[in-house]
Structure 1
């Protein structure tokens, strides 16, 4: 039986008659194809990537498993629509903490229309994409069984300064994250989520090594989805920290050229995470939000799911 995902933090979300993604109980995620060239481009990417023998297995693990396409009843009741069938990245996880980070200072592909480029340029300039090479697109952090999740409104991520981006990355791995608390993030789980030989930083460095050589694809407007289980971390167990690359509607052929746009954003994210691991006690929570978007971030409410 198909249902609306509980833990989607970005992208088009189903519900209230809106078209969005669905999941089933077997660990599959159904993403409706966009009606323009973006839908066909994403299918083309997954089909090409799945059969490309030049992609090493240790890199494939950073991408969702692709099961093809399928006609299913759309979430908005509009009838049968083609959907990508992908791996549900949080299937089997209990109360996952999730962060969606869009990589690259430029989020539009060269073939995009002038109107689309203008729209993307405006957002890239107004957010941290241009100055930092990445921006946070969505977030939920598990707080407790009683309080559920801290899940700020998406609009609160539009104009975060570098200090506040760093603060969110610290909150993501803290035991004291709460919508009701202004206390400094304690970064209690940084070493087991970001650090270690199998942590997110080690995984990102492995991906970076590939991007320093690969010239097959250029990944515009693609996201890194970070996940881990905070409840396991609270119990002193391995939290299953990992990331996957998602959203490939704007991927184009690399033409033998290194994807410096994605690589630059990835290196910037790696630098931010590395600094958290090397200076976990540094106080960044005193950064002053400079606009209403940032103020809304810190006053967001926890949501029980």
Structure 2
């Protein structure tokens, strides 16, 4: 039985007669195939990526599994419609804290129409995309059993300056992540979520290393999804900290050229997370020596 996802934080959402993705009980995510070039382009990317032997296995793990397409009953009541069948990234997660971060200072491709470029350029300038190289597209932060999730409207945070974006990245890994922006985050889970050999920073650095070489694809308006389980972290268990790349309606062939737009945004996000670990600025967490070393590597080899 298909149902509306419980933990979607960005993008088109199903419900109230609107077209959006659905999930089932077996761990699959059904994304409506848009009836324009975006839909065919995303399908072409997944088809190409899944069969491309030049993609290393350690990089494939950062992308959702692709199971083809299927006709299913659309969420808006329009009957059977084609959907991409993908991995449900939150399958069996209990109360995940999630952040969707759109990467790149430019969210439009040169191949796009003039009207679309103008629309995207306007939003890139009005949000943090242009100054920071990325913007927050949506998030939910699990607070506690009494308060549940903090999931604000996207319009309230997409245009925040750098210091407030960093504040939200701190709140994501804090035990006192309340909706009150004046509350000082304690970053008590930063070291086990962002840090460590398998943490978010390590995963981002691994992805960055691939983008420094890969010239197969150029990713425009794609996102990095950060996920972890705060309750697990609170109880001393593995927080299941993980990143995934999502949204590929605007991916084009790289034609032998490095994707500097995505790489630059990725480096900017790495810098923000590295500084939370290495320059706590009021947070209680201290960075490990390995995290500090990785941060130094970023500054030595970072790209524009």
Describe how 1:154-173 pairs up with structure 2 within 5 A: 154-173=154-173
Pairing 1:87–2:87 present:
yes
Residue equivalent to 2:219:
219
How many residue pairs get matched?
A: 283
Residue equivalent to 2:43:
43
The answer (yes or no) to whether the contact 1:186–1:281 under 8 Å persists in 2 is no
Residue equivalent to 1:295:
none
What is the CA distance between 1:280 and its match in structure 2?
1.8
Residue equivalent to 1:179:
179
The answer (yes or no) to whether the contact 2:186–2:282 under 8 Å persists in 1 is no
Please, which runs of 5 or more residues in structure 2 have no aligned partner?
284-304
SS of the counterpart of 1:6?
coil
Describe how 1:77-156 pairs up with structure 2 within 5 A: 77-156=77-156
SS of the counterpart of 1:47?
helix
* CA-to-aligned-CA distance 1:62-88 (integer Å, 9 cap, x gap): 000000000001000011110000000
SS of the counterpart of 1:34?
coil
Extract structure 1 runs of 4+ deviating beyond 3 A. none
Residue equivalent to 2:287:
none
What is the CA distance between 1:182 and its match in structure 2?
2.9
SS of the counterpart of 1:245?
strand
Higher RCO structure (Cα 8 Å, ≥6 apart): 1
Pairing 1:54–2:51 present:
no
What is the CA distance between 1:180 and its match in structure 2?
4.8
SS of the counterpart of 2:273?
helix
Q: TM-score, normalised by structure 1?
A: 0.92
Please, which runs of 5 or more residues in structure 1 have no aligned partner?
284-305
What is the CA distance between 1:181 and its match in structure 2?
7.0
Output the CA distance in 2 between the equivalents of 1:210 and 1:158.
28
What is the CA distance between 1:111 and its match in structure 2?
1.1
Output the CA distance in 2 between the equivalents of 1:148 and 1:15.
21
SS of the counterpart of 1:276?
helix
Residue equivalent to 1:29:
29
Output the CA distance in 1 between the equivalents of 2:118 and 2:27.
38
Output the CA distance in 1 between the equivalents of 2:111 and 2:226.
29
* CA-to-aligned-CA distance 1:184-216 (integer Å, 9 cap, x gap): 000000000000000000000000000000000
Output the CA distance in 1 between the equivalents of 2:275 and 2:182.
22
Q: TM-score, normalised by structure 2?
A: 0.92
